[in-house]
Structure 1
């Protein structure tokens, strides 16, 4: 049911944790140049690019006023798509079609378009001003569709939409539905949303759309036919992502799971993690970056470029392969491990992470799965930071890998290993 479920996804840089609302032309140019230089394929400009009367400089205003803030972006979206073309990458943009703020031109013109209970004060969401538009209302449905239609018609170079939804249904009332249908809001809201998404997909089947909802709030089977991927969580801490991605992958395929390399210290938890660990975690799904590249050292950019190049070699196995769970992070063995194989059992990608640290800690051997016991596999470390690990270049039979297993060199704090296995 996933839209383009058998397709692989691009490697992207999203601007959010890099600049937050501080979007501007110079900054977007710099970020596009940097991700292109590291081998990325797509740049996504997140929140903060719109608003005329009410510029979008924080989360208290402007949703619904989908006009470019030319004070930040004098050349508009066309200037950004031209910049992306200059660097040889694709361009994507953030929108939140289902919401508005009480401080917005849209709300001033159409206060009846928001969900509300007559005679009661509003219960606001994010920023103390955010309200949910009434998707039960066909006029609101047209408004949401026209936002997307206008963007993609005027700027056909847009290849990706990050569709966010940061407010839940807080005001249980509709000015559109009759009195005896007010209890139908949850159902009619969703049906209205689906109508919009069906119209978008009928006209724009090839545009990649990410479902995001205050982080992982739209990890939702019901909207998957209209979205190519979802944002797993706003928590980008790689250690915590091991647990989240482990659970999410019980139901959803890895090409739907957007997993980004973020900064250290992490913006949500303050945890400091090696760049290799962050990459190795993100590479177990749809790889992306959520970082300000200009804050990276030259050595870090070199490592990122090499890792992205290597990920392209294993992308189809990770994103479309068969998942095998080897060591669960919940089993308290101090590590976590998983792997993907192709149907022919000629290629596999193995991941292992050290997640707990003790003196004289014993790390268990890991028995692999999904291989052909009659085949011999050559191992290659995908993301070495210097000299490859001791398993690199080894020739081991599928029988030994699955029955005896391997001792993975996870000695240092937050060490990790990604291995590509190729049948000889």
Structure 2
């Protein structure tokens, strides 16, 4: 018999609580699952709990709008006219929301100033947030906005008025992180002051339906001048409880606003946060090949519907790597699915591809977001990656009364694929005796010339299974598997499987 030990609870390294007589302390809840079938079953159990018990009930069955975020399109250089221009182009592609990212508030032209001053820059937005939001809505799109309410810049009206509102150790030099300081949320006046600014922003715009809530530096010099020396071990815990409290107030005052948590990406992933907000931005690295590992690891605990993932331009702004449009789209589809680009600069060809991606995603997103995930190939163990989502409609409220649907994504991220055998991809989670119709909604546009191994583009669609529609047994798919032939380092495939009755099969 082996032994298993694990520790749960608050990290004692920086935590101390001065519990007074007659007072109480509520420790955090701990969520555990048991799996007798490895990490895959563990993940599926966690996903089920997160989807059905953790995320706010009002968002459990409401998909995130397909959005375009302005950050990689414009960075700090956002203006009324530019956002309106982005909106018009985005609407033509089928995008459903515009999110105005950093740079919209007074004197915010780079990362060195103005955090805490949540008032629109009248030079950039002469009609205020209400004016630009109104025009975005005129294009048929929803409107969202970026804020970083837990932070303050030294060069800001807020800091000049209340320098004591930041976390700092009295008598010691204050150190900046990303040119900013962290506000002391253990102080009620700080929380109330920041919340009133957020509330005013939302109410004055009359159109905010989405907030990207960012947090771009770690808590350092964790000391509150509002607490006694013996209470300083309580600061981090009080900070988080106050943050939850702000989100509780937002949920009550503005229940229809969807909030995405963010902290340089995945630093904000936390079941406590997901109790108030339905999704978290996975990483500021939007490169599709890098995202394979990032999203694969995130999937250990968190379902796809909670994982913020966007399609961005090439070369990627973070890695400077080029990746095919379909690959960027397929990776983003394994999350909330959105865009980080300027649609006014997109070519006619890529615009057509984006419209196709959006149309296909809408047809399969409920399978991805509600289905059971099977990680078939790990990018940490091989140069390949594959994720399979299986949804049993007989146990859901789907329009399909019975049967399964599945979507499998297959990615390459290695150079030796052309000279080495790629293993057959064996699916899992299907019904062995069931028959499945296999479709490839977005077939490949590349082919290899056998005579010289040259990879060329082709007008004729190239289907991984050799045909537009293929029928196979679940047992065959899970045991014999699917032969996979990659043509480029960033090659990929997506197959849609639908369980069908025996009589529907036509082999002619």
Fold equivalence (TM over 0.5): yes
Give CA deviations for 1:88-136 in whole Å, capped at 9, x if unaligned. Answer: 1111000011111000000011111111111111011103xx0111000
Match of 1:117 in 2: 169
**Quick check: 1:340–1:348 contact (8 Å CA) kept in 2?**
yes
**Quick check: 2:444–2:463 contact (8 Å CA) kept in 1?**
no
How do residues 58-97 of structure 1 correspond to structure 2 at under 5 angstroms?
Answer: 58-97=110-149
In the aligned structure 1, how far is the partner of 2:95 from the partner of 2:485?
A: 29
Match of 1:375 in 2: 434
Deviation at 1:385, TM superposition (A): 5.3
2:399 counterpart of 1:340: no
Deviation at 1:388, TM superposition (A): 4.4
Deviation at 1:6, TM superposition (A): 4.0
Pairing partner for 1:364 from 423, 440, 458: 423
Match of 2:55 in 1: 2
Partner SS for 1:400: helix
In the aligned structure 1, how far is the partner of 2:429 from the partner of 2:480?
A: 14
How do residues 5-16 of structure 1 correspond to structure 2 at under 5 angstroms?
Answer: 5-16=60-71
In the aligned structure 1, how far is the partner of 2:89 from the partner of 2:227?
A: 49
Give CA deviations for 1:234-266 in whole Å, capped at 9, x if unaligned. Answer: 111110101110010110111000111111111
Unaligned runs of 5+ in 2: 1-53, 394-402, 446-460, 501-508
How do residues 34-183 of structure 1 correspond to structure 2 at under 5 angstroms?
Answer: 34-51=89-106, 55-127=107-179, 130-183=180-233
Partner SS for 1:349: strand
In the aligned structure 2, how far is the partner of 1:5 from the partner of 1:418?
A: 25
In the aligned structure 2, how far is the partner of 1:384 from the partner of 1:306?
A: 11
Partner SS for 2:267: coil
Give CA deviations for 1:305-362 in whole Å, capped at 9, x if unaligned. Answer: 1110110000111111111111111222x31111111123521111000110224231
Question: How many residue pairs are counted as aligned between the two chains?
Answer: 418
Partner SS for 1:47: coil
2:494 counterpart of 1:418: yes
**Quick check: 1:317–1:349 contact (8 Å CA) kept in 2?**
yes
**Quick check: 1:91–1:160 contact (8 Å CA) kept in 2?**
yes
How do residues 392-403 of structure 1 correspond to structure 2 at under 5 angstroms?
Answer: 392-403=468-479
How do residues 12-31 of structure 1 correspond to structure 2 at under 5 angstroms?
Answer: 12-31=67-86
Give CA deviations for 1:21-77 in whole Å, capped at 9, x if unaligned. Answer: 0001121112112221111111111000001xxx00000000011110010111211
Structure with max Cα Rg? 2
**TM-score normalized by the length of structure 2:** 0.80
Cα RMSD (Å): 1.4
**TM-score normalized by the length of structure 1:** 0.96
In the aligned structure 2, how far is the partner of 1:49 from the partner of 1:36?
A: 21
Unaligned runs of 5+ in 1: none
Partner SS for 2:152: strand
In the aligned structure 2, how far is the partner of 1:362 from the partner of 1:253?
A: 31
**Quick check: 2:444–2:493 contact (8 Å CA) kept in 1?**
no
In the aligned structure 1, how far is the partner of 2:353 from the partner of 2:66?
A: 15
2:322 counterpart of 1:272: yes
In the aligned structure 1, how far is the partner of 2:197 from the partner of 2:353?
A: 39
**Quick check: 1:264–1:273 contact (8 Å CA) kept in 2?**
yes
Q: Which stretch of structure 1 is more off in the superposition, 6-15 or 66-75?
A: 6-15
